[in-house]
Structure 1
Amino acid sequence: MIGAYTIGKKAVTFGYRRYGVPGAIASGGAALAGYIVVRRALKSSTNDGTVDSAIDAGEIQSAVDEQGLQAVADTETLEQAIDTDELDTPVDIDDVQSSVDEETDTASDSDSSAGKS
């Protein structure tokens, strides 16, 4: 499993190669935001400190690159990105999915309201 720094670095490199500096910023930011959203939701659902090792950041990065930040709220993406065997506590993917969905909606709402003036 790879961590937040690595996912950010890979996403920035991918975005830069594809779209230049604006792509690097957008791709890196979205992938890192997706990882953080999943990590927060998983921590709140399990109260477990070992969630970082259970998250496959590469899966999150791929999903965000293909479909945007909303992709992390997809149950199939979460099932692929979270290795439940790595966690000390059992986890309900549906609970995690609803938490991720709420976080991505909040992030999307704040992004759209920040663009208005």
Structure 2
Amino acid sequence: MQMRKHKLQHPGGTIIGSARCQAFRTREGRLKAACNLVQRGITNLCVIGGDGSLTGANLFRKEWSGLLEELAKNGQIEKEAVQRYAHLNVVGMVGSIDNDFCGTDMTIGTDSALHRIIEVVDAIMTTAQR
């Protein structure tokens, strides 16, 4: 019997197209992200990241109503959608492999990063011992 190795891929990014995206730093990029959310009927976001991600999420939240109005004005969404999606719920969670957020024992991502480092060091040690 032949065994196949399956490579799991977890590419960075989200379905709204904002993660690691230079365009999201511009109003035009956030306008596109808002349009993507409305088209998919998404009204809740959970943003896991560091200072850049959480700052971007907060700016997006602040601009939300203006973004919807602009999308409606440009004909990209229906005017009724402005009312239907008037409120965007955003939850921010600190996620950093740096573990540099005060008041927490360990941030999301730190344990995974440390675990991977230990695996690699163990593999190198095993190879070096041969």
Superposed pair shares fold, TM > 0.5: no
Larger helix share, 1 or 2: 1
Instruction: Calculate the TM-score normalised by the size of structure 2.
Output: 0.32
Larger strand share, 1 or 2: 2
Largest Rg, 1 or 2: 2
